[in-house]
Chain A
Amino acid sequence: MSHFHPWIDGSIVGLYLLGTMIAGVWVRRYVSKVEHFLVAGREMNLYLGIASLAATEFGIITCMYAAEAGYTKGFAGAVPGICQALAMLVIGLTGFCVKPLRASGAMTLPELFEKRFGKRVRWLAGVVIVLGGLLNMGVFLKIGGDFLCAVCGWDPGSLVFVMGGLLLLVSIYTILGGMLSVLVTDFLQFVIMSAGLLIVTLLILHDIGWERLEEAVRVNHGEGGFNPLANPTMGWSYLVFQILGNTAATLTWQTTISRLLSAKDAATGQKVYSRTSFFFVCRWLIPVLWGVSALAVLGPAKEGEATLMAMPQFLATFLPIGLMGLMVAAMLAADMSTNSSYMLGWGSVIYNDILAPFRKGKWPEARAIRWNRFIVALIGIYLFVFGLLYEIQGDVWSYLLLSGSVYLSSMSVLLIACCYWKRANSWGAFGAILGGALVPILFLSFEKMASTAAWAADFGKDNAGIAAFAAAAIGMITGSLIKPRNPDQTTP
């Protein structure tokens, strides 16, 4: 039985929603150019950037898959967060790739690629980014709805209405105000989300206590619950894939780099990266702790039970009235900021890169903004339909990283080559895109076919992910070396 009280907790949630909607809709008056809509006129400063990046990169989906990792792998499940924090710190401090990317003045990655590899590569890169991104994001709304239904004790039949309501609210301010609304609401959402996450975490540490949490991990997972190399479901290949995948995501994930591209200059963008880096440890470790708490209180999952739902089931009975409202508001804040940024992020690539060949000359600002709003609305409809129809097999993080690796492997290789390898050219870019996409697609096909399923299981998802990065790099090197040299090529 959930502790969610319709009046007390409902009022806290309602107040948060009202505040967010007023702020999000109010700033639409400042949107007069497409640059305002997509990158907030490049006027974003450091602290707003930190709030926005942190709020975007923590959604209900993040909380769910990280808590599931804590429940099924123990504290070692937080390793991807440490990998991403290190990648973010190193890239922020050195400016590796992100400095030339911001200095190029591009609004999206494919726009940068066009300067080096030509229009066809820009278009194809846009398609790969959008396909990978939308496949990845397609499950967000459904999982957000599942979480809210479980925590609030609502009937699963109301999932459609919860999903629809969430989507409608986010769509309204994102369509009207674009990146400006996203930044302002992200700020409010960051403050509420952080307050909720911290209070719940402190309550867990106080009420359950470290000794009980540690005992639960030791009994259920042994040393592997603390050390990823001693965990039979993790090991070296898992670690290497996490380092590659998280570094690539830091360099090329559209919603992450859109904060860099919205920064007022490259130095501000780099500071946003380096100063937000430790947040990525918190982003994983806090929900992992919630998952471990679910393990300590509820015990391990029985045969056929969904490990994904253990954390929300634990929170539903652990938190008292009042705090439940704050936690639901925090999770709504986290989810709304993620959904709005993702809708805008993929929408900007569709408008800026995929539709670029169909635009004859520069469109008037009003028409461009209208098209961007239309694209964001279409993505909203896609999210709703995909969320209702698609059922994830296996754990959520594996699905997200595998669907993301189609894009991350090739785009990171393209970006590094574009910025630092003078010999890189369009043939190499096509080779990298082909190699990066082919390996995960082949692996997924092998997994489904009876004759090759055993081989695929032996090979493993992590090795397939590493192979995708290797294939993209080989494709880039081979293609670039085969094509005759072009003396006019310059680095951007």
Chain B
Amino acid sequence: MSTFWHLLIWACVFWYGTVTILVAVRGWKDIVGMLRRLRDGEE
């Protein structure tokens, strides 16, 4: 069981690190798009 938790911790570190970079880039684009659509909807 100890090996399972050791591997899972490293899986978390790698997965979380990758997702953080991906979401930081794509999430920013999502915000810009969301605010543009809301502004266009008002006009």
Point out residues on A near B: beta carbons under 8 Å. Answer: 27, 30, 32, 36, 40-41, 43-51, 54, 75, 78, 180, 183-184, 187, 190-191, 194-195, 197-198, 201-202, 205, 210, 214, 218, 223, 226-227, 278-279, 281-282, 285-286, 289
User: Does B8 contact A285, Cβ atoms closer than 8 Å?
Assistant: yes
Q: A45-B33, A47-B29 are in contact. Are A191 and B9 (CB under 8 A)?
A: no
User: Does B13 contact A201, Cβ atoms closer than 8 Å?
Assistant: yes
User: Does B2 contact A183, Cβ atoms closer than 8 Å?
Assistant: no
User: Does A205 contact B9, Cβ atoms closer than 8 Å?
Assistant: yes
User: Does A40 contact B34, Cβ atoms closer than 8 Å?
Assistant: yes
Q: A41-B38, A202-B13 are in contact. Are A279 and B19 (CB under 8 A)?
A: yes
Q: How far is the CB of A212 from chain B (nearest CB, A)?
A: 13
Nearest chain-A residue to B6 (Cβ)?
A210
Q: Chain B, 28-43, contact with A by CB distance < 8 Å: what is the 0/1 string?
A: 1111011101110110
User: Does B34 contact A43, Cβ atoms closer than 8 Å?
Assistant: yes
User: Does B23 contact A50, Cβ atoms closer than 8 Å?
Assistant: yes
- Residues in B whose Cβ lies below 8 Å from that of A281: 8, 11-12
User: Does A45 contact B34, Cβ atoms closer than 8 Å?
Assistant: yes
- Residues in A whose Cβ lies below 8 Å from that of B35: 27, 30
Q: How far is the CB of B38 from chain A (nearest CB, A)?
A: 5
16 contacts between A and B (CB under 8 A): A30-B35, A41-B41, A43-B37, A47-B22, A48-B27, A48-B30, A75-B2, A183-B34, A187-B31, A190-B27, A198-B17, A201-B13, A205-B13, A214-B2, A226-B5, A282-B15
Nearest chain-A residue to B17 (Cβ)?
A198
Q: A75-B5, A223-B1 are in contact. Are A44 and B30 (CB under 8 A)?
A: yes
Q: Is the interface of B mostly helix, strand, loop or mixed?
A: helix
A214 to B1, CA, bound (A): 11
User: Does B42 contact A32, Cβ atoms closer than 8 Å?
Assistant: yes
- Residues in A whose Cβ lies below 8 Å from that of B20: 190-191, 194-195, 198
- Residues in B whose Cβ lies below 8 Å from that of A43: 34, 37-38
Q: A47-B23, A51-B27 are in contact. Are A198 and B13 (CB under 8 A)?
A: yes
A384 to B19, CA, bound (A): 34
- Residues in A whose Cβ lies below 8 Å from that of B11: 281
User: Does A194 contact B1, Cβ atoms closer than 8 Å?
Assistant: no
A242 to B29, CA, bound (A): 36
Q: How far is the CB of B9 from chain A (nearest CB, A)?
A: 6
Nearest chain-A residue to B36 (Cβ)?
A43
A50 to B41, CA, bound (A): 24
A190 to B6, CA, bound (A): 25
A278 to B15, CA, bound (A): 8
User: Does A194 contact B16, Cβ atoms closer than 8 Å?
Assistant: yes
Q: How far is the CB of A36 from chain B (nearest CB, A)?
A: 7
Q: A190-B27, A198-B17, A227-B1 are in contact. Are A44 and B12 (CB under 8 A)?
A: no
Nearest chain-A residue to B16 (Cβ)?
A282
User: Does B9 contact A285, Cβ atoms closer than 8 Å?
Assistant: yes
A191 to B25, CA, bound (A): 10
- Residues in A whose Cβ lies below 8 Å from that of B2: 75, 214, 218, 226
User: Does A36 contact B38, Cβ atoms closer than 8 Å?
Assistant: yes
Nearest chain-B residue to A187 (Cβ)?
B27
A180 to B41, CA, bound (A): 15
User: Does B33 contact A285, Cβ atoms closer than 8 Å?
Assistant: no
Q: How far is the CB of A354 from chain B (nearest CB, A)?
A: 28
- Residues in A whose Cβ lies below 8 Å from that of B22: 47
A36 to B39, CA, bound (A): 11
User: Does B24 contact A191, Cβ atoms closer than 8 Å?
Assistant: yes
Nearest chain-A residue to B15 (Cβ)?
A278
Q: How far is the CB of B34 from chain A (nearest CB, A)?
A: 4
- Ordered nearest first, which 7 A-B pairs have the shortest CB separation? A226-B1, A48-B30, A47-B26, A45-B30, A194-B20, A47-B27, A75-B5
Q: A30-B39, A282-B12 are in contact. Are A48 and B31 (CB under 8 A)?
A: yes
Q: How far is the CB of B17 from chain A (nearest CB, A)?
A: 6
Q: A51-B23, A227-B1 are in contact. Are A46 and B9 (CB under 8 A)?
A: no
Nearest chain-A residue to B26 (Cβ)?
A47
Nearest chain-B residue to A49 (Cβ)?
B30
- Residues in A whose Cβ lies below 8 Å from that of B15: 278, 282
Contact of B34 among A44, A191, A223, A227 (CB under 8 A): A44
User: Does B19 contact A50, Cβ atoms closer than 8 Å?
Assistant: yes
- Residues in B whose Cβ lies below 8 Å from that of A183: 31, 34
A43 to B38, CA, bound (A): 8
A214 to B4, CA, bound (A): 12
A444 to B17, CA, bound (A): 42
Q: How far is the CB of A152 from chain B (nearest CB, A)?
A: 25
